[in-house]
Structure 1
Amino acid sequence: QYQSPDASKLLTGTSVIMPMYNASCWLDECLQAILHQDFTGTMELSVFDDASTDDSRNVVERWRERLEARAISVVVSGHNSAQPRGVGYAKNKAISQSCGQYFCFQDADDVMLPQRVRLQYEASTLHPNSLIGCKVQRVPEGSTERYTRWINTITQDQLITQVYMSHGPTVVMPTWFCSRNWYLKVGPFDEGGKGVPEDLLFFYQSLRQGGGVARVDQCLLVYRYHEKATTHSVTEETIWKLRVDFLQERVLSQWESFTIWNAGKQGRKLYRSLSPTNQKKVKAFCDVDDNKIQKGFYTYEESKQRPKPKIPVLHYKDASAPFIICIKLDMTGGVLEENLNSLQLKEGMDYYHFN
């Protein structure tokens, strides 16, 4: 349960919110980077240890004196249960013991650049009802290349239009910065534990509440990829269902009819995942594959309707907007992007990406 901090201690500055679980091998680099922030406002580090079995807590304590010498106050707590309670729980606990009016979320295995807190604090004071992100440097270099390119190159408009993509939040959780007031309006984080995408759930809830999304267009975080990252515990099916539901709620509920761009596996899967009401709105599939187009129709075999629904399959040039595009970006050597550009459509009005 969220507890408001003691009003007499409430700061005007920033709390770095750090959930921690078996992070001792990364903590020295992480904490040194917090020490070297060029932010001149009040700063606090709030760490919650989620039942680590290594010496993570000791490592943080070893840094306490140096951090406090730089006027960065340190709050550390945790629990020693047999099992960790999960990232959502640890974030909520770190927040409830903190005092800052702004939150800078920091994963214990990542490294912030010296200007991160200052630049994101400035952006957050201008956009108090937004989640603020930044560009990242991915290490090891070359890991998740397409994902990293997407994080760093989508436009400010696409931070809103591309929220249905399989990549998850358009500003990635390890880069988040927001006001305490906004967290209180949206949160807390889901505490379901392992396998729950607490970041995507919070992100969608923030959008439902009318929140904005913004990005500082500088690289302010070294974002580490490794096999033990909690991201790997979330299944694709869990994410898929959340995205479909959000797409139906935010977009398809506003449209009278639409075309699914991709008559293959992903397009048909999206069709089958829709509510009966939204299935009826699908006027066609479109594609560039002659074999699919020549078949003429996709028949929905699992339908209880009689006769079974038969959806036309058209060439994309013969199909009409709006479209839901179920083809991965950056995978066709630019062909998809060229085809889209040739139709002179507007993203967020005539089409949305869903892959």
Structure 2
Amino acid sequence: MPRFSVIVPAYKVQAYLSECLDSVLSQSYSDLELIAVDDCSPDACGAIIDEYAARDARVRPVHLPGNRGLGRARNAGMAEATGDYLVFLDSDDTLTPDALRSVADRLKETGDPDVLVFDYARTFWDGREVRNQLAAQLAERGPAPFRLEDRPGLLRVLMVAWNKAYRREFVRAHGFEFPPGYYEDTPWTFPVLLTAGSIATLDRVCVHYRQRRQGSILGTTSRRHFDLFEQYDRVFAYVGQRPELARWRPELYRRMVDHYAVVFTRPDRLPRGSHGEFLRRARAHCRRHRVPGTRLGLRQTLVRLGLHRTLRVLRLVSAARRRTLKSAVRPARALRAGALGLHYRIQLRLPLRSDRAVFAAREGRGDPAALEEAFRVHAPHLSTAWITPSGQEQSAPPGPRRLTPGTAAYWSALARSRYLVGDAGFEGRLRKRPGQVVVQTGQGTPLGHEGLDLQEHPAAARDTDFARQLRDVDRWDYLLSGNRYTTLIRERAHPGRYTTLECGLPRNDVFQRATPADVARLRASLGVPEGAVAVLYAPAYRDHRRTQRPLLDLERILRRLGPRFVILARAHTPVQGTRIIDVSGHPDLAALCLASDALVTDYAPVMFDYAGLDRPIVVHTEDWAAYEAARGVYFDLRAFPPGAVARSEDELIDIFATGHWRGSRSAQLRAAFRERFCPWDDGRAAERVVRRVVLGETELPPVVPLANRNPVPAACARSPLATVPQPSGPLPVTECH
């Protein structure tokens, strides 16, 4: 008997069916049967199902003699099911990787409840992915399993069949079946949740709910939406036969009225001329099932009373109000922009303030934040400010005054501050004044092409305005460099009259100053378990990919490596899973480096910073050829790596499982990499910049030799984990191009 029976009804979805079936059969948890029901589909769905059944014994095809609709097709699948739990999946949707393993683990943790509710995300044709807005209802807090009265908010989560796993014996004992009709999920999900003796939640996206451009059943204009009335009659009939469920009538009533309001107000649901009839039917149903004393909102009240014209007038008034506001916003914005422009021009005529410095960072904090701190320490007579876009307040470092772009204070600061420090271009309308000093920190040490070198790589350059980029370069007075390699690249890719400061990277100073107590504090704040080996996973952005999902199956890697390992995932999209800590939005990359014991990356610049910590680095180069072709690279990372090189996910697992990740060979590679790319990162880079730029000193503090540096050790530096000695030999060296 399999653990799961995954039931997939199929009708006119030949373009999506294979992806759906693949998402089930490729699950890391394989104890399942896939019951694919061909609902007499006129396209190739039946043939596709048979092809999969011939290849995989877990696929059980069911061919219906006539089209019965989604609900009855699911019933046909249930009749064939033998698994402990039923999981429904629509044939144009997909399971996320490791979804069934997560479901199985949660079922085991919670004692096999009657129903497990998990999360979903809407996926759009343009690559967007939007998680369920009510995901907080699925938090795994408090005791589990529970009954619905303990978490009534679950009734507000999308009432569909495919975001839950159902214990098959529970379904069979209560005789639950799907009725015919357009809204067959409604009289299934409400009774199931109301009746379940035990419920649990899983706070993980397990289903990708495809939002099709066209062809969605509920997005089709049709009189079949009138089916909603009959389905809610079924719900209330079920409750009416069970007195113990009577207490749920007010909530069901609110849900019903709200559902009617949604269908009525959506422009793509009801045919022209049928809205009045729909509202009259809604009024009759509201009277039939009304629960006295139930509180409703304005829209729901108008639906209950059947005030068709009033509701339509309110909709027209609301639309007119939106149009009026929209038409008024444009002139108001133009007036405000004109006033701010005038304000800026006036500020430009006022004297510079030599005691003011403004800082900005494109993402997180990085070098500008480290320099801002150094300005306050070594040049305390300066007042500092940090440009903080709205919604990014958490990324601002503590200490400096905050400036919101587009405000009068922002333009005043740009016009009158002597020092402007940032890692990207400042405001395009900025006019650099005589006496202003612009310090460009850059984005660390580059591997992929940048600046003018991107002209040969349109996929990476995209809409880059190279002329504007050069105008920005013309404002620079100083450009920071962490090594001679970076200096040679940037002076060619960003040609200008600036002075290159070969002082090291300020953001890496903390690696030499931090203490073991700082590391322990950071790990605790991130939720890293005591004694765990924390691996920071930080992949590069792929210019050639429409979506940025990680190439590595992080949960599979962790299962193979065992419970001692956790992953700090700093990917370009949120990552979830057991023992995976999503740090994608963390503003301080240096803090993540300090909290980790090793780095796994591919082509991200963080590897050059991390080498200064002298901790293990593993690079994953599975798609090197594609990355090199799309963006261009300055040297072959595979020939001169900072540690062990994995060309596949299995090789990566093997590197950690055998201890090669921190073996002697990896240490030799890291030492050579560190010598080339971290020559000046001794903990005093920011001080040298301040002394040179602000204090005008020419005799700067000498650089501490690599052999004499003592970066803070990793938390697991003395872990009893085995280290497998690696064969020694000459280190590969490649000159940069």
- Alpha-carbon spacing, 1:158–1:138, altered in 2? closer, same or farther (3 Å): farther
Q: Which has the higher strand share?
A: 1
1:111-160 Cα offsets, whole Å, 9 max, x none, are 1112111121233343534322322221217999999313x333458994
Could you tell me which residue of structure 2 aligns to residue 16 of structure 1?
6
- State yes or no: 1:75 paired with 2:60: yes
- State yes or no: 1:204 paired with 2:190: yes
Deviation at 1:278, TM superposition (A): 3.8
Q: Output the CA distance in 2 between the equivalents of 1:174 and 1:86.
A: 16
- State yes or no: 1:89 paired with 2:78: no
Alignment of 1:302-317 (within 5 A): none
- State yes or no: 1:148 paired with 2:150: no
Q: Which amino acid is the alignment partner of residue 123 of structure 1?
A: R
Q: Which amino acid is the alignment partner of residue 124 of structure 2?
A: P
Q: Output the CA distance in 2 between the equivalents of 1:101 and 1:251.
A: 29
Q: Output the CA distance in 2 between the equivalents of 1:179 and 1:276.
A: 31
SS in 2 for 1:173: coil
Q: Which amino acid is the alignment partner of residue 98 of structure 1?
A: A
- State yes or no: 1:185 paired with 2:168: no
Deviation at 1:190, TM superposition (A): 2.8
Q: Which amino acid is the alignment partner of residue 112 of structure 1?
A: L
2:24 alignment partner, one of 19, 34, 44: 34
Could you tell me which residue of structure 2 aligns to residue 7 of structure 1?
none
2:123 alignment partner, one of 139, 148, 171: 139
Deviation at 1:29, TM superposition (A): 1.0
Instruction: Could you tell me which runs of 5 or more consecutive residues in structure 2 were left unpaired when the two chains were aligned.
Output: 140-147, 252-257, 263-281, 307-737
Could you tell me which residue of structure 2 aligns to residue 43 of structure 1?
32
C-alpha contact (below 8 Å) 1:244/1:274 kept by paired residues: no
SS in 1 for 2:191: helix
1:120 alignment partner, one of 93, 100, 103: 103
Q: Output the CA distance in 2 between the equivalents of 1:33 and 1:182.
A: 26
Deviation at 1:222, TM superposition (A): 1.1
**TM, length-normalised to structure 2:** 0.30
Q: Output the CA distance in 1 between the equivalents of 2:171 and 2:15.
A: 30
SS in 2 for 1:44: strand
Q: Output the CA distance in 1 between the equivalents of 2:63 and 2:125.
A: 33
Could you tell me which residue of structure 2 aligns to residue 273 of structure 1?
286
Q: Output the CA distance in 2 between the equivalents of 1:301 and 1:60.
A: 49
- Alpha-carbon spacing, 1:52–1:12, altered in 2? closer, same or farther (3 Å): closer
Could you tell me which residue of structure 2 aligns to residue 228 of structure 1?
215
Q: Which amino acid is the alignment partner of residue 216 of structure 2?
A: A
C-alpha contact (below 8 Å) 1:48/1:77 kept by paired residues: yes
C-alpha contact (below 8 Å) 2:236/2:289 kept by paired residues: no
C-alpha contact (below 8 Å) 1:168/1:200 kept by paired residues: no
1:280-308 Cα offsets, whole Å, 9 max, x none, are x46x8898xxxxxxxxxx9x999xxxxxx
C-alpha contact (below 8 Å) 2:125/2:211 kept by paired residues: no
SS in 1 for 2:185: helix
Q: Which amino acid is the alignment partner of residue 112 of structure 2?
A: P
- Alpha-carbon spacing, 1:121–1:50, altered in 2? closer, same or farther (3 Å): same
C-alpha contact (below 8 Å) 2:186/2:235 kept by paired residues: no
Q: Which amino acid is the alignment partner of residue 201 of structure 1?
A: P
- Alpha-carbon spacing, 1:46–1:285, altered in 2? closer, same or farther (3 Å): closer
- Alpha-carbon spacing, 1:224–1:249, altered in 2? closer, same or farther (3 Å): same
SS in 1 for 2:133: helix
- Alpha-carbon spacing, 1:218–1:207, altered in 2? closer, same or farther (3 Å): closer
1:162-183 Cα offsets, whole Å, 9 max, x none, are 3555x652xx422221221122
C-alpha contact (below 8 Å) 1:159/1:213 kept by paired residues: no
SS in 2 for 1:188: coil
1:249 alignment partner, one of 246, 250, 255: 246
Structure index of larger Rg: 2
CA RMSD of aligned residues (A): 4.2
Deviation at 1:53, TM superposition (A): 0.2
Could you tell me which residue of structure 1 aligns to residue 385 of structure 2?
none
Q: Output the CA distance in 1 between the equivalents of 2:247 and 2:23.
A: 39
Q: Which amino acid is the alignment partner of residue 49 of structure 2?
A: V
C-alpha contact (below 8 Å) 1:112/1:221 kept by paired residues: yes
- Alpha-carbon spacing, 1:160–1:186, altered in 2? closer, same or farther (3 Å): farther
Could you tell me which residue of structure 2 aligns to residue 339 of structure 1?
none
Q: Output the CA distance in 1 between the equivalents of 2:217 and 2:199.
A: 23
1:261-287 Cα offsets, whole Å, 9 max, x none, are x9xx99xx88992569843x46x8898
1:301-337 Cα offsets, whole Å, 9 max, x none, are 99xxxxxxxxxxxxxxxxxxxxxxxxxxxxxxxxxxx
Could you tell me which residue of structure 1 aligns to residue 93 of structure 2?
110
Alignment of 1:331-350 (within 5 A): none
Deviation at 1:58, TM superposition (A): 0.9
Q: Which amino acid is the alignment partner of residue 41 of structure 2?
A: S
- State yes or no: 1:216 paired with 2:202: yes
- Alpha-carbon spacing, 1:146–1:120, altered in 2? closer, same or farther (3 Å): closer
- Alpha-carbon spacing, 1:162–1:200, altered in 2? closer, same or farther (3 Å): farther
Q: Which amino acid is the alignment partner of residue 33 of structure 1?
A: S
C-alpha contact (below 8 Å) 2:17/2:91 kept by paired residues: yes
Q: Output the CA distance in 2 between the equivalents of 1:23 and 1:251.
A: 37
Q: Output the CA distance in 2 between the equivalents of 1:162 and 1:210.
A: 15
**TM, length-normalised to structure 1:** 0.59
Q: Quick check: 23-32 or 154-163, which moved more?
A: 154-163
Could you tell me which residue of structure 1 aligns to residue 47 of structure 2?
58
Q: Output the CA distance in 2 between the equivalents of 1:62 and 1:104.
A: 22
- Alpha-carbon spacing, 1:276–1:127, altered in 2? closer, same or farther (3 Å): same
Q: Output the CA distance in 2 between the equivalents of 1:301 and 1:191.
A: 29
1:176 alignment partner, one of 164, 168, 176: 164
Q: Which amino acid is the alignment partner of residue 217 of structure 1?
A: D
Deviation at 1:229, TM superposition (A): 3.4
Deviation at 1:21, TM superposition (A): 1.1
Equivalenced residue count is 257
Instruction: Could you tell me which runs of 5 or more consecutive residues in structure 1 were left unpaired when the two chains were aligned.
Output: 1-10, 255-261, 288-297, 303-355
* Greater RCO, 1 or 2 (C-alpha within 8 Å, sep 6+): 1
Aligned-residue sequence identity (percent) comes to 18
Deviation at 1:25, TM superposition (A): 0.6
- Alpha-carbon spacing, 1:234–1:147, altered in 2? closer, same or farther (3 Å): farther
Q: Output the CA distance in 1 between the equivalents of 2:127 and 2:82.
A: 36
- Alpha-carbon spacing, 1:99–1:276, altered in 2? closer, same or farther (3 Å): closer
Q: Output the CA distance in 1 between the equivalents of 2:203 and 2:165.
A: 14
C-alpha contact (below 8 Å) 2:122/2:210 kept by paired residues: yes
